Amino acid sequence: MDRPRCAERTDKRSSNEETQVEIMTPKCIRNPMGSPMKIRYTFLLLFAAGIALQAQDISPRFNIDHYRLGSDAEFREQYLASILSDTLNENLIVGFPNENEIKDVNTSLTVYGDIIVVNNGQLRFNDVDVRVHGNVFLLNAGKLQVTGGSFGFVQQYLYHRNMLLQQTSSLLLNNTSLNFGGYNVGLATLNQSSVLMVNSTVTNGYMTTTLLDSSQFTAQNSTSVGEFVMMGESDAEFTDCTGILSWLTTPPGSNLEIQFPGDAIAGQYHYPDSVIAASGILNSASYDGCFGLLWGMINESGSTARIHNSALRAVGAIFNHAGDISVSGLTNGATLSTYQYPAADRDIRFVNSYVETWNLYPSASSSVAVTNCIFGEILAMGKSRSMVTNSICDGSGGYVGSTDTAQMTMVQCQIAPDVVAKSLSQIFMTSCNIPDGAINTDNDAIIGLFNCTFGAQPRAGEGSGVLIMGVDDPTTGYVDDQISIKGSAFLIGGPEFPAIIDQYWLEFGLSAIPDDRRPIGSPSILPKYKEELGIWDTQGLDPGQYNVYVNLKLNLGTDTITVPRQITLDEKPVSVENPLNPGSFSVSQSYPNPVVFGNTATIDVQLPGNREAVFMVFDALGRVVDRRTVERSAALQIQTSRLAPGIYRYVLGSGGTRKTGTMTVIGQ
């Protein structure tokens, strides 16, 4: 079975017309053909999503019918054969080629590949310690039993490893300690598959379970059970358990009125039978003697819900409407006396309730625009296209991610959690700040970082790449000078990623005349990462605002990728022979930070003696939005009512000395 071919894509996207930011989606910069084993990774990644995300009728939305093991026996056998025909020696396989095979493992082991149990095979780990460097697939009535000991995955990032149960397969965890290496693991069940967890606990990491179709999850006397998304006609039962986050879902056409329970249920509670009113809800969940409970809700396009007097850990929205949807104004940690969810494709209302975090899930063929929001997680799926601007993802709900063939663009955003792109998907970020989160691509995905700041070195997995471009410094300079332009023109490619940089070059021009560009130096074939890209000779230029353009071409015949950065040129001071002592020249972090739009931010500046300095504030695109002369140490007041929500950089300069900081403005 061939891997799906990559369609030729040469879209040009402009995230801001004024600054001529061009983001190119490269043509197929990967091997269009691959081994059959890779198909199943693409499929599995549909379920590796923090809060998990399939819609009730998943077939047309996620194209899972191409991979389902349904009633078509011929297709089922072809699918199983495709999975197993190209296996590596490191994989542990039970049930192929011998159906009904039973394998008992009585000594501890490490599996340097996948665990695959198929065709009514049984794999039984008996009181041993097991570590897996791959994924787990239970297909066509395959059974995995873990009794005693420990079972875990070796991972490098969130949802690196996953478990999939298909076609009446089953998983038994009995008196077992689950160790996921400190990261989340995804578990997905389909086609009447089942999981039984008894006297077990997750000790290191977290488990996200998605129940689809008529599958079932039963947990008894277990701790740190994890989070559950219940879709389709699935069923979950929890007895004497702790550490459960339950995501109750409202599919299209459903109507729900509910007051969510608290963090403990001494007796019994059943969803949806115990709610105020419900219709169109097909899945169910029951709780008996459980505590340490958290509650979440996932609403879909076309659903209706009324939530009264409830405290919700998170509210997620799946956007599966084939059209344009806008969302703005969401703020985490919201106490809602009366509030309607700000999306026109659903009717979700809150009364006297609290929402800790909002999560966003563009899917299917939706086109979603998110502006001026503070949210906890966003995961783009299916064939969706998303644009996120002037927003903050604080990570309280998960991470920033993409899968399938989704494409997401983020502009002027502050991102606290990890960023993960998988499976042919693409994430393009312009003028974003990712100070602490890890950045990972895998399975033919692409991430573009354009004029972004980030702390961790990005990682590129199999067939994937991370493109880093832009100007880091300076944001100001002088005419009649030689200015060192520092930044990146760099490509991180994982294994089997065929693209390399053909060449890059710099240009400049007045910001007001973006089509008038002149070269800076000569083209180069040497990639640069956070270092000098070239020297800009500003002799004879007038003071003003200029764009410096970083241009790059790959070796695949793709269009030129262009990333501009605005730089302000001033008259050169008469003398800079005695620059300030940096130890006595400083600016503080703005406070409060973030600052709510319309309020005042304060920045303390320290100047030695009576020396003058220039203080400027730049938006994420490099435009000057505030400029003033500072004659002494002072507490500068920044009125944010003139600023759009977003990330701003401020610079205090005098002579040859500069100090910088960042400030975030959020919506009301």
Q: What is the pLDDT of residues 612-640, one digit of tens each?
A: 788 888 877 667 888 888 888 888 999 88
**Strands lying side by side in the sheet with 465-473:** 324-328, 367-371, 385-389, 407-411, 426-430, 446-450, 465-473, 482-493, 528-537
- Rounded Cα–Cα distance for residues 96 and 85 (Å): 10
Q: Is the pLDDT of residue 590 over 70?
A: yes
Confidence class for position 89, pLDDT limits 50, 70, 90: low
pLDDT higher than threshold 70 for residue 13: no
82-96, 205-219, 635-649: least confidently modelled range: 82-96
Stated as kind and residue range, the H or E segment containing 44 is helix 37-44
Torsion angle of C-alpha atoms 572, 578, 582, 587, degrees rounded to 10 = -40
Average pLDDT over residues 563-583: 69
d(CA 437, CA 293): 28
Output the 3-class SS for 571-608. Answer: CCCCCCCCCCCHHHCEECCCECCCEECCCEEEEEEECC
Closest CA to 425 of 449, 407, 452, 400: 407
**Pairing between strand 12-14 and 459-460?**
unpaired
Select 582-666's CATH number: 3.40.50.620, 2.60.40.1930, 3.40.50.880, 3.30.70.20.
2.60.40.1930
* pLDDT for 609: 67
Task: Note the pTM of the prediction, 2 decimals.
Answer: 0.73
Average of pLDDT values for 314-328?
Answer: 91
Quote the pLDDT of residue 580: 46
* Mean pLDDT over the full length of the chain: 83
Selected residue with higher pLDDT from 68 and 590: 590
Assign domain 467-570 to a CATH class. mainly beta
Residues 6+ away with beta carbon under 8 Å from 66 = none
What is the Cα–Cα distance from 630 to 508, expressed in whole angstroms? 30
Q: What is the DSSP string of 284-298?
A: EEEEEEEEEEEEEEE
pLDDT of residue 476: 87
DSSP state of 412: S
Nearest to 243 by CA among 194, 290, 187, 289: 290
Of 386 and 79, the one with more pLDDT: 386
Domain ranges of the chain: 27-240, 467-570, 582-666
pLDDT for 118 beyond 80: yes
In this prediction, residue 318 carries a pLDDT of 93
What are the φ/ψ torsions at residue 46 (nearest 5 degrees)?
Answer: -60, -20
CA distance 42 to 3: 9
Helix, strand or coil, per DSSP, at residue 273: coil
The lowest-confidence range among 120-134, 321-335, 337-351 is: 321-335
**Residue 574: what pLDDT?**
58
Question: Would you state the pLDDT for residue 655?
Answer: 67
